[in-house]
Chain A
Amino acid sequence: AQSVAQPEDQVNVAEGNPLTVKCTYSVSGNPYLFWYVQYPNRGLQFLLKYITGDNLVKGSYGFEAEFNKSQTSFHLKKPSALVSDSALYFCAVRDTGTYKYIFGTGTRLKVLA
């Protein structure tokens, strides 16, 4: 069965510092990986995805993610964090056979001024 894990419930980072939100996955076949962000009382917003190609994927709001096949990871990164980046972040993998999406439990990012 396909799954994703977000090992950190919360990540704190100072404004201006680089941030990393971790995600590891388990899939059979090629992985289709996604990151979403959720602001308070809002739906999930798509940030970026890895389907194939370059291991470094660039997305919205200055975020990027690095696909690492050997470590089965897809960590979300940003070079310089903003207070406005504080939100709940979800990693997801898509089942290629059924188009079902499996989500991690989420990581709350808190950027401190």
Chain B
Amino acid sequence: DAGITQSPRHKVTETGTPVTLRCHQTENHRYMYWYRQDPGHGLRLIHYSYGVKDTDKGEVSDGYSVSRSKTEDFLLTLESATSSQTSVYFCAISEGRSTDTQYFGPGTRLTVL
């Protein structure tokens, strides 16, 4: 898992509470991504970042916010968790070159009760 860590790896929380997931990379890659994986939907992009303080929305961004204050860290925040946000969340990185490849972290399993 190419120098990418995610924390926590597992979390159980209650509806209405805020949750922050962290992605940390040691590769100095420019791009970082947050996905969620749900059965029947594959991976869906939540938000991505193309540099420090530069972020953009993906296809399922409602209810999520992100921040990137350092190259190595990309935070995903669920402002007020709902049961529909129960999922497995993956962080990914890429260099942002035409020939590059996206690499994934190990994932965070989030359960919202």
Contacts and interface: CB of A to CB of B under 8 A. Distances in A.
Given A49-B101, A100-B58, A101-B102, A43 B90 contact: yes
Interface stretch (B14-22, B42-50, B60-68, B71-79): B42-50
A20 B103 CA distance: 24
Interface string B29-54: 00101010000111111001010000
Looking at chain B's contact residues, is the secondary structure mostly helix, strand, loop, or mixed?
strand
A43 B1 contact: yes
Sorting the interface of chain B by its residue count into under 10, 10 to 19, 20 to 34 or 35 or more gives: 20 to 34
Contacts of B1: 43
Given A43-B104, A43-B106, A90-B42, 4 more contacts: A44-B90, A101-B33, A104-B42, A105-B41
Given A43-B106, A98-B56, A99-B31, A34 B42 contact: no
A96 B98 contact: yes
A8 B56 CA distance: 31
A31 interface: no
Contact of B43 (A42, A45, A94, A103): A103
B94 interface: yes
Interface residues of A, number: 25
A54 to B, nearest CB: 15
Interface in A18-68: 32, 34, 36, 41-46, 49, 51
5 contacts: A34-B101, A45-B104, A46-B101, A101-B45, A101-B92
Contacts of A44: 43, 90, 92, 104
Interface string B78-113: 000000000000101010101101111111000000
Contacts of B40: 105
A99 B42 contact: no
Q: Which 8 A-B pairs have the closest CB atoms?
A: A43-B104, A105-B42, A103-B43, A44-B104, A103-B42, A43-B106, A106-B42, A43-B107
